[in-house]
Structure 1
Amino acid sequence: MDSKQLLEMVVKAADGRRAEDIIALKVDEISPMADYFVIMTGGSDRQVQAITNAIVEKAHEENVKIGSVEGKNHAQWVLVDLGDVVVHVFREETRQFYNLEKLWADAPLVNISDWIND
């Protein structure tokens, strides 16, 4: 699975658990860490955990190596490292506080609208 397919898998899994305000940033030209960062919001601690679980379960189904899952117990900011795709699942207040979109403002947005159900 290439990084674009991995990105699609993540977005669809998150959307299936009603993640809000999903954005994808193409960071491969400005960071050696990954090809994409995916940032999204969950409306409650439980929803953040459900979104994270859906992504992790789908990764297991697709035999994608999971580097680590950090912050799941606190559910304010969960980071899922899938190698070429790094996923950030936030509670709204925490997302606003850290403002990763501004921190990575030089990274172009990826059009993910085809993978999200309206």
Structure 2
Amino acid sequence: MNQSVEMVKTAYNALSDKKGEDITIIDIRNVSVMADYFIIASGTNSSQVQAMVDNVEEELGKKGYVCKQMEGYRSANWILMDYGDIIVHVFDRDNRLFYDLERIWRDGKTIDVDTLS
């Protein structure tokens, strides 16, 4: 398993463990050089959004991956976590609908976590 895939699976499970909603993985390798994958998830309130992000950071940290940059933690309406190969976006429901990253990155390929290898 390559590093990007391991990171995606770990982040996905960390988000899922904190009851993240509508977790989406977009393969952007053929669309952008900024990362291999986007992971997008929603939480119901700012506390849950922060808990999801904290869990992603903890679980990836256990495997030796360090977040290069994080933005939006205090407001917790859209938190971006940059791990280089993957970028994790955690939104509250309203901001996820407003920014609609899935539409913006529709040239990428939406994939299921179970198909990653």
- TM-score range (shorter-chain normalised) is over 0.9
Quick check: 104-113 or 94-103, which moved more? 104-113
Q: Which runs of 5 or more residues in structure 2 are unaligned?
A: none
In structure 2, distance between residues paired with 1:81 and 1:93: 22
User: Match for 2:43: what amino acid?
Assistant: G
**Structural mapping, 1:57-68, within 5 Å:** 57-68=58-69
In structure 2, distance between residues paired with 1:60 and 1:33: 21
Percent identity over the alignment is 32
**Structural mapping, 1:30-109, within 5 Å:** 30-109=31-110
SS of the aligned residue for 1:57 comes to helix
Q: Which runs of 5 or more residues in structure 1 are unaligned?
A: none
User: Match for 2:60: what amino acid?
Assistant: A
Size of the aligned set, in residue pairs, is 115
SS of the aligned residue for 1:22 comes to strand
User: Match for 1:21: what amino acid?
Assistant: D
| CA contact 1:30–1:107 (8 Å) conserved in 2 | yes
In structure 2, distance between residues paired with 1:38 and 1:55: 11
Quick check: 60-69 or 71-80, which moved more? 60-69
Equivalent residue number for residue 10 of structure 1: 11
In structure 1, distance between residues paired with 2:99 and 2:67: 24
SS of the aligned residue for 1:109 comes to strand
Cα shift at 1:88: 0.2
User: Match for 1:62: what amino acid?
Assistant: K
Equivalent residue number for residue 22 of structure 1: 23
In structure 2, distance between residues paired with 1:114 and 1:105: 19
TM-score (norm 1): 0.93
SS of the aligned residue for 1:79 comes to strand
SS of the aligned residue for 1:54 comes to helix
